[in-house]
Structure 1
């Protein structure tokens, strides 16, 4: 009953996935990322049946037909019904190898039948060795089709024996040899590496369809450096035989896997991209991969990323699949020196019966393979070989049986980040553990377990929304371990807010933390729009600063609907001013009545800073990049903008780091400044330099909140008033007089909004580092800043065109990890014309007079 109530969509069973349900045509490929609609490669209408040997090997017979047909322009090479033996087969461009139903192609276990060596990859490292039973290199339009069987040799064969004795640890074998020296042919009892079953490398337009693979010695289907690959209706039966993975997509792109059935000794549907120094140097990711309507019967993991991750793994989508007897369902694994990582992994509508954990992530490995680097502490310095797993979304899952629901051992220097598991029903022996996690949400989950304890250690941003143990006598419990006191939010969901609780986590209507920081808000026709920096991926050790600009809307000011990214990040070009690694802050959008355009300015902190300017016809976009600007030759820091409704003129206040505040009038199109500007708060050094200007008007008077300069560590605000934009700014003092910590209630004001129909102004602020709340760290930080900046001088004017720097190697530290920043919304009162802000644990708009 619980499963029926929880899942609004149908989740497949093992009786409606796999090869027997394969369609004749390839259905439309839908994915949460751009994915081409793959088509089967087409072959010339030529067909040749190989005359096979009844005794001995038919290797040369098969290869001669392939070579002849390839020379003639291609076609189909047919392996007829019968039991045949062969050595390695090499496919050529425009060749379809059809293994007919009733044909059994048994491959040799002798090294000589796979020589000479060929270029291949073994466990993510490039070498020259035996390659594969069926191999192709630098070919286009190749296929292996039919309903026949491909059978490997027994594990007591020569190849397996020598490999096991001499070449199990490839990194030690290869050492620092150049590629040309990495020749492993097994001659005279030298090292040799196992042949895969089917392994095209550097190929384009590959089809593997309908065949059955029995008794592989090693990984079964392994496209390497390939593009446009279709694997469908394939059956792998190699459990208990050799070191067998099922399907390994390695540094390949645009891959469709569907209607397959895997029964393996090791991982099943596996994504890899190279290993360590070798893989980082090559840097070729696995990306754009869709897996659907398939089953994994046995194996270490159902869907697996790793352990070879050096080139990166991204854009993987699995849906409508079944795991019936694997150890884990969702398996993410790597080691410290492997590099790369995995991101943008999407999984939905999966049913699983497991021997181990449902969600498994291990980034440490074992001492056997990783040495001292497999020890959790000390945290290591982040470099190009530090792996990174993030952005994993799993939805609508039934776990019929498992050991642990969650089993995570990530890295203290690079936590597992941005995981969301929702809509899950699970029977498990225990809830499990998380170590070194940033931003992990479990939502809408029904768990049946005798051990409902979740152990957390070194975690940040763990959220449990509507997570219930169906054994009502044993509610979910959190066990905290380690020196750092973690925090886990547990609450029911869905929920509706009826008040504002400053500083507490605020969820949108989808149950996700609101991500709109350094923000602005406006109201139009009874709807509030709140937009700002999307910090969901700004976690410890990441290179993400701001992942686009996100907008929310609300009718009641309490409950906010996610409108998505109105300005998307550039995820390809690191030198784009909109790339997510660029330090973009504080978007401001103002409407230009004259041009009918919405103009957006964003601050980019590069050396002394500049503006990135975009515009759009509609507030919600799309926005087009216009230019980068250093106004008047000045560097820029925090800023605010204002379009005067009476005059139509636009104004910008921006900090000249870290020296003064400049107020400048905008050009008529709002895309630049005019020569008319003034300077304020001149000659102040951090922490006294004024930043984060926030302008608002009350009863015809202009006010400006500003913050001191201590980075993301909060500090005391000041408020000034003025009548003339370029005139005198009158100091009105601290608007938070009751704050004993002198930290603006551990927040930084970014906007002020007047509630329509009310005499109510609300100060809107970010609490960037909520872990500093109720500490004296802000006061101590300010004193340290004062000492550090004693001799600071302003950056000189620079009229050169701003240029971006490659910031992919800049990593987020604990002082700029802001994914879990919260918000402090508080009413403003006016005492003798001076804005004052007092703390309230909870308040309602309805409590204020019209």
Structure 2
């Protein structure tokens, strides 16, 4: 063989190797070796007790001023710990301040009042869009180096705020609820805690900010404008550790546009019937670590969001660089969820060593036309699931703001497939990597439903054993790769 032929053969081999490497690069294999770094909080060694400012743990005294005065005093001294000792402390809204760690001792119960007059109406955010809301029980804006830590409980008194669907309760539970007061809208099969709350539910976008809405209008539906329990807006270096957050009026934990957020060993708890009772909604945040935590709630467990529709696209802040590990989700609409308000996008999300037990869906990725936004570079591995009511893994671009599991007697028709033009309102799902999943019991193993105008693409499923009544269903998707995926059909046993 002459030198030219040798050179040609070598060049051909090099081109083949380059092509193979390019193909491997397109697959984008898992990479958990370079996880995002999240900066930690650090506080002065100085402690102020709320009792110093007159707080009383008699279960009657309203301690709002005492607690907030203690936080302000600590902040002015350069920060430190504000200590909530053991006992029952009734309070109105608490506002955190920079460099302050609100620490709840074991057996400390911070109980938020059900006197709605203590919560001001403020411009806030509701499900990804600006709205008028009641002041959150715990909140802050533009703070740095803040924390809520300890072994105590923060209770949002959510039962005083929330509506309840009749079909989610037994007959005895429903009758007890009716006997407690409130009002019912029969057509909606829904109980409301007050006439104001019911009135607001009948209005479209009742809390939306609009020049033609007067303060008197918002006041007339105040009870309907439920706050999230903890709202941290545009904060840097945040730590939530050890505390139980429970009984929230709406979402439990809502970090919004935060950077360097650590959620460690918390317990987020809500009744199974809690409307909008999400565990944590991480919205338009970057550099986030959720670890060692437990969620048992009435809506999505651990949720990634980034704003809704035009408002979310205008904000343009994706949720990115998120680690979710060593955590358990019990009752919830989804274990780890992305969407549906993801119009600013989401990327570089790492989920591993998690368990979902009894959730409606395991891994849940949802959106709909109008959202826009790009969700990509999502990695999940080493996931254990048991007794999943619906799908173990679900991708759905036809989300319709409904519970994932139809209630008894509720009929749902499949959406009509119509192809629309691709615009900025068209959402994008691509580049998902899911491996090492074991699921003992689900209705369906995997469900993927994209849009005809823009398919879901590049989904890599690897090393799975899923016991389910139904197998894998794929609609309007491309480059879905399955390797070592074993589905064990169980008939009606599971």
Q: For this structure pair, what is the TM-score category when the shorter chain's length is used for normalisation?
A: 0.7 to 0.9
- Is 1:289 the counterpart of 2:322? The answer is yes
- Is 1:224 the counterpart of 2:256? The answer is yes
Give how far 1:396 is off. 0.5
Matches of 2:349 and 2:217 in 1, distance apart?
Answer: 35
1:759-770 superposed matches below 5 A: none
Contact persistence 1:310–1:338 (CA under 8 A): yes
Q: Given the alignment, which residue of 56, 61, 67 partners 2:66?
A: 61
Per-residue deviation, residues 23-46 of structure 1 (Å, max 9, x unmatched): xxxxxxx96486443243111222
Contact persistence 1:47–1:78 (CA under 8 A): yes
Per-residue deviation, residues 88-114 of structure 1 (Å, max 9, x unmatched): 111011111001111011112232222
Give how far 1:380 is off. 1.2
Paired residues, number: 417
1:70 aligned counterpart, secondary structure: helix
Per-residue deviation, residues 587-615 of structure 1 (Å, max 9, x unmatched): xxxxxxxxxxxxxxxxxxxxxxxxxxxxx
- Is 1:366 the counterpart of 2:366? The answer is no
1:173 aligned counterpart, secondary structure: coil
TM-score by length of 1: 0.47
Question: In structure 2, what is the equivalent of residue 142 of structure 1?
Answer: 146
CA 380–133 in structure 1, closer or farther in 2 if over 3 Å, else same: same
- Is 1:396 the counterpart of 2:401? The answer is no
Q: Given the alignment, which residue of 334, 338, 342 partners 1:309?
A: 342
Contact persistence 2:356–2:362 (CA under 8 A): yes
2:74 aligned counterpart, secondary structure: helix
Question: In structure 1, what is the equivalent of residue 156 of structure 2?
Answer: 152
Matches of 1:322 and 1:35 in 2, distance apart?
Answer: 20
CA 141–196 in structure 1, closer or farther in 2 if over 3 Å, else same: same
Question: In structure 1, what is the equivalent of residue 378 of structure 2?
Answer: 345
Q: Given the alignment, which residue of 131, 154, 159 partners 1:127?
A: 131
Question: In structure 1, what is the equivalent of residue 423 of structure 2?
Answer: 383
Contact persistence 1:408–1:433 (CA under 8 A): yes
Matches of 1:68 and 1:383 in 2, distance apart?
Answer: 52
Give how far 1:448 is off. 1.1
Q: Given the alignment, which residue of 106, 110, 113 partners 2:115?
A: 110
Matches of 2:146 and 2:41 in 1, distance apart?
Answer: 7
Mark the runs of 5 or more structure 2 residues left unpaired by the alignment: 1-29, 164-191, 404-413
Mark the runs of 5 or more structure 1 residues left unpaired by the alignment: 1-29, 453-850
Contact persistence 1:184–1:190 (CA under 8 A): no
Give how far 1:188 is off. 3.3
CA 144–430 in structure 1, closer or farther in 2 if over 3 Å, else same: same
Q: CA RMSD in A?
A: 2.7
Matches of 1:40 and 1:375 in 2, distance apart?
Answer: 46
Contact persistence 1:35–1:254 (CA under 8 A): no
Give how far 1:187 is off. 2.1
Give how far 1:287 is off. 0.5
Per-residue deviation, residues 258-309 of structure 1 (Å, max 9, x unmatched): 0000001111111000001111111111000000011001101111000101
Question: In structure 2, what is the equivalent of residue 47 of structure 1?
Answer: 47
Matches of 2:203 and 2:241 in 1, distance apart?
Answer: 31
CA 283–64 in structure 1, closer or farther in 2 if over 3 Å, else same: same
Matches of 1:318 and 1:45 in 2, distance apart?
Answer: 34
1:217-256 superposed matches below 5 A: 217-243=249-275, 244-256=277-289
Matches of 1:185 and 1:233 in 2, distance apart?
Answer: 41
Matches of 1:234 and 1:367 in 2, distance apart?
Answer: 28
Matches of 2:217 and 2:295 in 1, distance apart?
Answer: 30
CA 419–183 in structure 1, closer or farther in 2 if over 3 Å, else same: farther
- Is 1:89 the counterpart of 2:122? The answer is no
Matches of 2:401 and 2:123 in 1, distance apart?
Answer: 31
1:537-576 superposed matches below 5 A: none
1:93 aligned counterpart, secondary structure: coil
Matches of 2:368 and 2:204 in 1, distance apart?
Answer: 13
Matches of 1:176 and 1:318 in 2, distance apart?
Answer: 36
CA 367–359 in structure 1, closer or farther in 2 if over 3 Å, else same: closer
Question: In structure 2, what is the equivalent of residue 261 of structure 1?
Answer: 294
1:527-542 superposed matches below 5 A: none
CA 227–166 in structure 1, closer or farther in 2 if over 3 Å, else same: farther
Give how far 1:161 is off. 3.5
Contact persistence 1:219–1:246 (CA under 8 A): yes
Contact persistence 2:295–2:329 (CA under 8 A): yes
Give how far 1:177 is off. 3.0
Q: Which has the higher helix share?
A: 2
CA 170–35 in structure 1, closer or farther in 2 if over 3 Å, else same: farther
1:67 aligned counterpart, secondary structure: helix
Give how far 1:153 is off. 1.3
CA 376–236 in structure 1, closer or farther in 2 if over 3 Å, else same: same
Give how far 1:157 is off. 4.2
Of structures 1 and 2, the one with the larger relative CO (CA 8 A, separation 6+) is: 2
Give how far 1:381 is off. 1.3
Matches of 2:130 and 2:401 in 1, distance apart?
Answer: 24
